[in-house]
Amino acid sequence: MTMIGIKKKLLNYYEDILQVINDKDSFQQNSLAMLKALENNGLSDFEEKQWLGYAAHIYAAYAAVKIYKETMDETLDFSREEVDQVLNFYSEHIDIPNIKSMGIYACARQLEIEDPMRCYELTKMAFTVDRDLAKNLGIEYRYEGRATEENLTEICPFCGSGKNHHIPHYCSPQITYLKKNELLPPAKLWMKCDKCENLFTYNFPVSDAVLINGSYAKKEKEVLGTQFLLSFYSSIFNQFKMLTKGTDYLEIGVGTGEMLAVAQEFGYQVEAVEICKEDCERISSVLDVNISWCNIMDYETDKQYDVIVMGDVLEHVTEPLHVLKKVKRMLKKDGILWISTPNYNSAYARMQKFSHCMWHILTHYTYVSYESLKNILDNLDMQIIRYDISSRYIGSMEVFVKHMEDAG
């Protein structure tokens, strides 16, 4: 489509918008004059200046009402060439910060899958031009810059490969989920390592991981609320009983405390490690359990356990391979390690593509598939002996793991 065709298309959008704000007559007069000038081989310098001044204000409505809305509805039919042309107009000819940033961001959203790295860079640019861009979209979030200018992951957290092995996979918009959380960037860029096939977030603020992973326990006096039916855990604990006779139990990351409570009901001698101080204190108090407040990598013990549970933890940690190595050392020779984590190759993920909820969860830093997790565990001389689709989280898997020499 030519630039004239692009402008005609945009003017059709303007007409829809201006009908809403009851300015149709003014629009018709101006748009007819513009189109006539375009058809007569362009505008004079004065006319071009007038057109740009007029269009700049209309573009604000266009970007907010049309590009953004149609992007959300997945109905926008711009080609890559059209996106580039509209982006060029905003970035080169518009000087009003809130209008310029809106246009750049709307164009960025068209590139989430096709060109994730450019989507990320354009999003960063848009929020640098106007740090209050989210507020124009009705979201209480201000971009402070730190979240995307620092904490870039250039070494794969699983295999240690360098950035020449990292392929941009998907750029997830985050502002609709942020809720004033200025620690996080307005978009999350997922990278895929071509050596180990695992995924990680390029621009995750790892230095603030403790704050980001926040509080999971509901704040109710003297009690803990439940997130799932506790009966969901029966089959898991019955498997533990079948696979190992011991009762020394360690839970890494206690969440809402419900799995820890079920472990007590099944007769285990429970201990736990939790990085969030608030969850640690509340759950420890209610359940009367020894919970160590620390990162698992800082947890010091000579004890080994019959059952170690990592329920929805692996996707949050910044050193997943080191965590798994440490957990292996703490597991008895005939013990069971249970891991629940999203599977980026799950049936749900295959069916829902990038609309799958896992791509937009703020606190997640890494993702594995069953195949890539198996490779990691195999290299650690550990073996998956049972695989289940999670009944709690869409697209998550649950695996039971043993030391390789004991897996038979």
Per residue in 275-297, pLDDT tens? 988 888 999 999 999 999 999 99
Range in 112-116, 174-178, 241-245 with the lowest mean pLDDT: 174-178
Which pLDDT value is given to residue 158?
A: 97
Residues 6+ apart with CB under 8 A from 330: 250, 301, 303, 304, 305, 308
pLDDT band at 261; cut points 50, 70, 90: very high
Contacts of residues 44-52 at CB distance under 8 Å and 24 or more positions apart, as own/partner, are: 52/93, 52/94
Residues 6+ apart with CB under 8 A from 300: none
Mean pLDDT of the 270-275 span:
95
> Is residue 74 scored above 90 in pLDDT?
no
Tokens of 406: 């004991």
pLDDT band at 348; cut points 50, 70, 90: very high
Position with higher pLDDT, 50 vs 125: 125
Range in 39-43, 207-211, 347-351, 387-391 with the lowest mean pLDDT: 39-43
* Helix, strand, coil percent values for the chain (each to nearest 5): 50, 20, 35
Pairing of strands 331-342, 396-403: antiparallel
pLDDT band at 24; cut points 50, 70, 90: very low
Q: Best-predicted range by mean pLDDT among 175-179, 219-223, 235-239, 293-297? A: 235-239
Buried/exposed code over 97-117 (b: 16+ C-beta within 10 A; e: otherwise): ebbbbbbbbbbbbbbbeebbb
Burial class of residue 74 (count of CB atoms within 10 Å of its CB; 0-12, 13-18, 19+): exposed
Mean pLDDT of the chain: 84
pLDDT band at 398; cut points 50, 70, 90: very high
Which pLDDT value is given to residue 390?
A: 96
